[in-house]
Amino acid sequence: MNKKERILKSAFELFCKNGFGETDIDSIAKKAEVAKGTVYLYFSSKNELFMKSMMYVFEEYDRQISILVDEKLTYREKLYAYISLNINTMFENNVMSKMLVGELYNVLKKENALKKSVLKEKMSLKFKDVENLINAGIKSGEFKKVDSASVSAMILGGTNMLLMRNIYISKTNTKESNIEIVIKNLTETIFMLLDKEVK
C-alpha cells in the first residue's frame, strides 16, 4: 500500500470513528505514518480528502463485487452474492454507515457541483450494475421479463431502508444470524419477481 492509499484508508477510518468535524489532518497523518505536509501534497483540504476517501471505499467495494461475481455463477447466484455483500458491508459497521448517511450529505452541501456530480455518477453506476445484471439474466432466459429498473430500485431501496432501521431504530448491533435472515427475506422477495414459474 503506497502513501496515498494509506492516507485514504486512515482518513476513512478516522472519519468513521470520530466524524468529519472531530477529525483533523494531524491525526490522519499520524495514523497513516506520514508527515502532515505529505497529506497536503495529495489533497488540498480536509473536504477533498473526505470526498476522495469515499471514492476510495466505493472503488474497493467495486473490486470486491468483481471478484465475488464470478462468471461461472448463475445470474441468480450473482444477484444473491451482490445483495449479500451489500447488506453485510453496511451492517458490519454501524458507525461507517451512519457517517455515510449524515456526514456525506453535510460535506456535499459545501462542495462544488463538479465534485458532487462525480460522486453522484459513481452512485448511479451502482444502480446500473444491478440493472445490467438483471437484464443479462433476462436475456439468458434465467429470469422472466420484468422492468429491471424498478426491480433494481427495490433492491437498493430495500437495502437502504434496512440500513436506516439498523442505524436509527436498532439499539444493539445486528447479530450475524439476524443478518442472514434479512438477506434471505430480501432475496426471496426479489426472486419471486424474477424467477420463472416452474411448469
pTM for the predicted model, two decimal places = 0.70
Instruction: Report the distance separating Cα 104 and Cα 108, nearest Å.
Output: 6
177 in any annotated domain: yes
98 in any annotated domain: yes
b vs e for 13-30, b when ≥16 Cβ sit within 10 Å of the residue's Cβ?
bbbbeeebeebebebbbe
113 in any annotated domain: yes
CATH number of the domain that residue 117 is part of: 1.10.357.10
Number of domains in the chain: 1
Residue 121 belongs to what domain range?
69-194
Q: What is the pLDDT of residue 16?
A: 76
Does residue 20 contact residue 96 with C-beta atoms inside 8 Å? no
For 149-177, what is the mean pLDDT? 71
Q: What tens digit of pLDDT does each residue of 99-157 get?
A: 555 555 566 565 555 455 555 666 677 788 889 999 999 999 999 999 999 999 998 88
